[in-house]
């Protein structure tokens, strides 16, 4: 019984040791945000990323909002120098809506597809482009002279990211 259990553990944990484990520290420039991040590829096909940074609204470009979140990534085309992947994004946004002098926060969810290239000249660097869709809507109330008004804040739905990472194996 112990031998079987040990064999099963080696089977599951040993598979990942033959893959490409990499951890990358870098930055991401988006349409309305700038975020430092940490990306970890557990093997050739599975990875995740944690990020946080500043952003702005589409109506008024003033980087006074904050967001933090994660991505779960899955590779479907892999080569030694590049990979194509899809992923799911979950983040929390803290928004300062200047036109109404109010603050709100909301969860944002999204799906993306990306392509990452490893540099052949400079080892352990990666460039990536990501494209996708995100959704986040929050209704909030404004109190003006004792009367409450409904307003809705909607996150810019397009995900368009350019990434640069320094990897260590």
What's the CATH code of the domain at 48? Answer: 2.40.160.20
What is the number of structural domains in the chain? 1
Q: Residues 79-127: pLDDT tens digits? A: 888 999 999 999 999 988 766 677 888 999 999 999 999 876 666 888 9
Cβ within 8 Å of residue 158, ≥6 positions away: 31, 132, 133, 134
153 — pLDDT class (breaks 50, 70, 90) = confident
- Residue 87: inside a domain: yes
Residue 15: C-alpha distances to residues 3, 6, 20, 41 (Å): 18, 14, 11, 14
- Residue 14: inside a domain: no
- Residue 4: inside a domain: no
pLDDT of residue 18: 44
pLDDT of residue 16: 45
- Residue 152: inside a domain: yes
Q: Residues 126-140: pLDDT tens digits? A: 899 999 999 999 888
User: What range defines the domain where residue 128 resides?
Assistant: 21-168
Q: Residues 27-73: pLDDT tens digits? A: 999 988 999 999 999 988 999 999 999 998 877 778 888 999 999 99
For residue 45, give the nearest of 81, 75, 19, 18 by alpha carbon.
75
pLDDT at 17 over 50: no
- Residue 82: inside a domain: yes
- Residue 57: inside a domain: yes
- Residue 163: inside a domain: yes
């Amino acid at each position: 019984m112990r031998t079987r259990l040990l064999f099963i553990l080696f089977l599951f944990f040993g598979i990942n040791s033959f893959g490409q484990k990499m951890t990358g520290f870098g930055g991401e420039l988006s349409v309305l945000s700038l975020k430092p991040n940490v990306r970890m590829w557990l093997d050739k096909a599975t990875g995740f990323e944690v990020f946080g940074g500043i952003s702005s609204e589409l109506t008024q470009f003033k980087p006074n909002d904050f967001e933090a979140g994660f991505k779960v990534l899955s590779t479907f085309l892999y080569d030694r120098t590049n990979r194509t992947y899809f992923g799911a994004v979950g983040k929390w946004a803290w928004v300062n809506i200047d036109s109404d002098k109010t603050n709100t926060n909301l969860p944002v969810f999204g799906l993306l597809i990306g392509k990452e290239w490893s540099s052949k000249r400079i080892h352990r660097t990666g460039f990536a482009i990501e494209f996708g869709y995100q959704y986040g809507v929050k209704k909030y109330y404004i109190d003006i002279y004792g009367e409450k008004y409904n307003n809705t804040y909607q996150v810019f739905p397009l995900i368009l990211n350019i990434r640069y990472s320094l990897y260590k194996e």
